[in-house]
Amino acid sequence: MGFPGTWMTQSETVVYRVVPKCACSSIGQIMFYSDHGEFFDGDIHDATGGMHKWAIEASQPLIEKNVKRHKSYAFTCVRNPYTRILSSFFDKICGIQRNGKRYRGNLVPLLTQKYGIDVGGDDGKGEFDQIASFRRFLLFARDTIRFKKPMEPDIHWSAMSGHVSTFIVNGGRYNHVFFTEKFDEGMQVVLNNMTTKHKVNLKKIPKFNESEGHGPKRLHPVEDYFDDLSMHLMWEIYRRDFQIFKYDFDNPANKMPVAEVDLEELHAKLGE
């Protein structure tokens, strides 16, 4: 199976396991800059050079060798499950993507037909009940994750623990796991543990949010989207995310983690 979703700087100074919707655009650009002294011109997910990615066949043996020998500092970044699933909904379901089309083509018509989800019309600009639509989307996300119906779960809403675990199961080990909500603090720890060709000043780094502007603005506080049933579904599909990454399940309004990630616990529970 190897190391899907793993990126490594060309100079092999650091290895990163991508978790979708968790600042991956910013992290990828910082990695690129640390080697080249400039940012990749475009979405870093589209870069096919200047960086090693598992999706690039020629990079695979280099990544595999590095990770299995624990040669470079390895890290990942996680996010509050409540805000992550909301972000996935507004970006991927309600939003028009970079190519001017809906995400995954027939996905939105399927959701409209089977789950009664409204996304504001063909252009996404119409008014719709965000809370009702989101809760229906959450039911769909649960169905894909638990039952793989009506389709396999998408990487943008499948559990973070699933992404993070593949790295461990195949022989990798994390040196650091930090929070999107404390981005500068966590990323600085990574930078302090790698030798960069070009110095990175996090205060001056722009935030690369590739999903921004794709979808409608969220109109309500996070907690308004989650009633008792929604929270029950969240626990059903993201229990391990809340537990291992130390987020507050009982209070959707609290986006901050309640403790640091315990790396020993993480490797023990996700390496099974």
Residue 210 has pLDDT above 70, yes or no: no
Find residue 51's DSSP bridge partners. Answer: 9
Return the closest-CA partner of residue 240 out of 78, 21, 8.
78
Query: Rounded to a whole number, what is the distance in angstroms from the first to the last CA of the chain?
Result: 16
Per-domain residue ranges for the chain?
A: 6-80+156-204, 82-155+213-238
Q: Tens digits of per-residue pLDDT, 133-185? A: 999 999 999 999 999 999 999 999 999 999 999 999 999 999 999 999 999 99
pTM, two decimals, is 0.94
Indicate the SS3 state at residue 88: helix
CB–CB of 206/219 below 8 Å?
no
The length of the chain in residues reads 272
Please state the φ and ψ torsions of residue 109, each to the nearest 5 degrees. -55, -35
Return the closest-CA partner of residue 91 out of 80, 104, 78, 79.
104
CB–CB of 31/208 below 8 Å?
no
For residues 34-39, give the mean pLDDT: 96
Return the closest-CA partner of residue 157 out of 134, 173, 178.
134
Q: Tens digits of per-residue pLDDT, 60-111? A: 999 999 999 999 999 999 999 999 999 999 999 998 887 778 888 889 889 9
Residue 88 region by backbone torsions, left for phi larger than 0, else alpha for psi between -120 and 50, else beta: alpha
Cα–Cα dist 31/36, whole Å: 9
Please state the φ and ψ torsions of residue 154, each to the nearest 5 degrees. -85, 150
Return the closest-CA partner of residue 54 out of 42, 66, 43, 71.
66
User: What pLDDT was estimated at residue 70?
Assistant: 96
Cα–Cα dist 152/181, whole Å: 29
Tell me the two tokens of residue 107: 């996905």
Q: How far is C-alpha 113 from the chain's CA centre?
A: 27
Q: Tens digits of per-residue pLDDT, 256-270? A: 999 999 999 999 999
Any idea what the Cα angle at residue 27 is, between residues 23 and 33, rounded to 5°?
A: 150
CB–CB of 80/181 below 8 Å?
yes
Residue 18 has pLDDT above 90, yes or no: yes
User: What pLDDT was estimated at residue 206?
Assistant: 86
